[in-house]
A and B are shown apart, each in its own frame.
Chain A
Amino acid sequence: MKKGIAIASSIVCILVGLLFGLIFLLIINPAESISLGFTPLILAGLSSAFNPDWISAGSNLMKLGQEIANAMPIIMTGLSVAFAFKMGLFNIGAAGQYTLGAFGALYFALILKCPWYVCLLAAAAFGAFWGMLPGLLKAYLNINEVISCIMLNWIGLYGVNTIIYGNGNSKMFNSSQSKAYQVGTVNPDALIPSKIFGLDMFEIFKYRATTIGIFFAIIIAIVILIVLNKTTFGYELKACGFNKDAAKYAGINDKRNIILSMLISGALAGFGAGLFYLSGTVQWNPLDSTALPAAGFDGITVALLGLLNPIGCIFSGLFISHISVGGTMMPQSIFPSEISQIITGLIVYLCAFTPIIQEKLTKFIGAHKKTQQNANKEEK
């Protein structure tokens, strides 16, 4: 019952978000808003999956593959945000930890020429380090993690770009493309494989970035779920999140838990960056120091929409990725793809008052049941 209402409230958030997206489309171009706007936006990869032209070309699942590939990093940043949230910390720094994770993955892949699994671990380690900093600041100096995370996001971005670009002399920087080198051309071993147990993701989706990384994301989500709900560590963490004074009274070391949970949270975000940048299609652009990677903030959307539940994050991550791909499938000359960002932004806004939506839903269902009961009574 309670879970059902929680899920229903998420769905309400999505529906209202989509409604506002539709309104934007209507304002921009009422004539084409449904056929060229809303339909491709919400169908996204599904529209090509059943498109006869794409089927005959054999690439009908490509867009779905892209959705999965884009979902990997944001499921991870979503888990990162959700995990910290259980401890009562708002990890708005997932973007910075993600940036550091990307750097770790690229450095180990391009410079140290390590195989993919080492690069992935490096990504997690770099993210963990960047997540640990606000944890330390919070634990020992009582600095609000939101503010320190925001500052560390920008410091991380500028720092990473400085190293990768290095005034054009860095070994990671390909000046002919003015981007970081492509992992696949420099060190193919660093690419995450697409085959596992005879299952070949590339064969299915024909999209190069769709790797077995999605399975890692799912497995990690399950592990996080178990840690939170079954272990003493999870018990401590949630106790700190609910009531840190009582946790301290109970002998739980809250400082240690703050640092540890931020470290794990950072590792999750960093790992997400590893999954994305070792998938073969994307290249880091160190010359663009003006905007933080969106995956960090998408993580907030994913976590809230997923009700801070690790399994919920998988679904919400897939959904956010779905909508983003949908945004790019609208004709860009009419509808800018950022419409999908407006929808996700609105969803976060609505998620901020999930408790109220849940309360209303509970009341609504309660009233509904009562009238039904009354109706039943009258029948008797």
Chain B
Amino acid sequence: MSAGLLILIKFTLLSGIVLMYVALGGCFSEHSGVINIALEGVMVIGALFGILTLCTLPKNLPGFLIVTISILVAMISGMIYSSLLAFASINLKADQTIGGTALNILATAIALVVVKHYNSTISPDAQSPKLNFDNSLFIFNVGPFTLNVFIILGIILLIVSHFVLYKTRFGLHLRACGEHPQAADSVGINVYKMRWAGVLISGALAGIGGMAYIVPSVQDWNFEVGVGGMGFLALAVMIFGKWNPGYIFLGSLFFAVFKSLANIYDSTFLANFHLTKEIYSMMPFIASLIVLMFTSKNSKAPKAEGIPYDKGMR
């Protein structure tokens, strides 16, 4: 039983931290006024380039550098990819939901093309959509727990996020743009710039999140899968967490418990119920629907989110 509890904690931490990264990303984007439904796709892109970097970096580099560089690449590629959303929704005032959906569709396609091409350059006959990598550098043990660098980095970023949003000039400006962009504009805040910043930060966090989802738990990944809806779950976590980093942390752990059930169902007491893996996989999605039912009435969503800002329209 205690072994069961231990792996429950292990998997909860693993996926909880991923949800936290991505939900924090969503939080920055929405506080600036842009709904980032493309988080799922940004995760895929971040994971793709982060892992590709991990695969291609010379093995004789110091471990610390390999870890840092690949995470940085995941972060930057997430930012670049999310800039497509920023451009469409901020500069061209396109529908944010449609733009985001397009980026989700596009991400999986890009990942497959890139991975297949990469594999075929290594061995000409391989068209596998899988990448193999070595994740040992990211993982370390503390007592009975297996931890990974993403957990440490995540906790740091959580605290930083809270500080930035509520204690700095930048945060005050950012949130003003999501609540009342006309007010922000009238006191000389550049709404477009702040929204770009919000979306880019969300891209960076979701990029790391994509890598954090895959790298610590497995040694190979089939990119046909994308990230299996984690980006969407993160959106639910963000709503559940009332767009506030602290609550988002708690919300991610809550959802991660549900998410972990599918990982541990066959090795714990849950096996006695003889339910399929799919039933457990369904759990976090059902949980988020139920959470939405109870939170939708008095939502704390930024008031101007989803509405393109047009200087001319006041």
Contacts and interface: CB of A to CB of B under 8 A. Distances in A.
Question: In their complex, do chains A and B touch, with some C-beta pair under 8 Å?
Answer: yes
Interface of A: 24, 28, 90, 92, 137, 141-144, 146-148, 150-152, 154-155, 158-159, 161-162, 165-167, 289-291, 297, 300-301, 304, 332-334, 336, 338-339, 341-342, 344-346, 348-349, 351-353, 355-356
A148 B289 contact: yes
24 contacts: A137-B293, A150-B235, A151-B285, A154-B281, A154-B282, A154-B285, A155-B289, A158-B278, A165-B278, A167-B274, A290-B222, A291-B226, A297-B101, A297-B105, A300-B105, A342-B109, A342-B113, A345-B107, A346-B106, A349-B102, A349-B106, A351-B102, A352-B88, A353-B99
Identify whether the interface residues of A are mostly helix, strand, loop, or mixed: helix
B235 to A, nearest CB: 6
Interface in B186-217: none
Contacts of A150: 229, 232, 235
Sort A-B residue pairs by CB-CB distance and give the 3 closest, nearest first: A345-B106, A341-B109, A348-B102
A92 B100 CA distance: 11
Interface stretch (B117-125, B146-154, B244-252): B117-125
A146 B282 contact: no
B203 to A, nearest CB: 15
Interface string B220-248: 00101110110010011001000000000
Contacts of A346: 102, 106
B297 interface: yes
Nearest to B295: A143
A269 B84 CA distance: 29
Contacts of B116: 336, 338
Nearest to A349: B102
B37 interface: yes
B88 A289 contact: no
B276 A165 contact: yes
Chain B CB count within 10 A is highest, among A167, A341, A345, for A345
Contact of B288 (A151, A289, A297, A301): A151
B6 interface: no
A147 B235 contact: yes
B281 A158 contact: yes
Contacts, number: 153
Contacts of B104: 297
Nearest to B126: A333
A159 B278 contact: yes
B98 A339 contact: no
Given A147-B235, A300-B101, A345-B105, A162 B278 contact: yes
B98 A90 contact: yes
A341 B239 contact: no
A344 B105 CA distance: 8
Interface residues of B, number: 53
A289 B281 contact: yes
Contacts of A349: 84, 88, 99, 102-103, 106
B279 interface: yes
Contacts of B235: 147, 150
A158 B279 contact: yes
A162 B127 contact: no
A155 B88 contact: no
B92 to A, nearest CB: 5
Contacts of B157: none
Given A141-B296, A152-B289, A333 B124 contact: yes
B110 interface: yes
Contacts of A291: 108, 224-226
Contacts of B107: 345
B185 interface: no
Contacts of B109: 338-339, 341-342, 344-345
A167 B282 contact: no
Given A150-B235, A345-B102, 11 more contacts: A24-B113, A92-B97, A142-B297, A151-B292, A158-B282, A290-B228, A291-B226, A342-B109, A344-B105, A348-B101, A348-B102
A37 B117 CA distance: 14
Nearest to B96: A352
Contacts of A336: 112-113, 116-117, 127
Chain B CB count within 10 A is highest, among A142, A143, A301, for A143
Contacts of B103: 345, 349
A141 B297 contact: yes
A148 B296 CA distance: 11
A290 B225 contact: yes
Given A155-B286, A342-B110, A90 B97 contact: yes
Contact of A348 (B105, B110, B279): B105
A143 B297 CA distance: 8
A154 B124 contact: no
B43 to A, nearest CB: 14
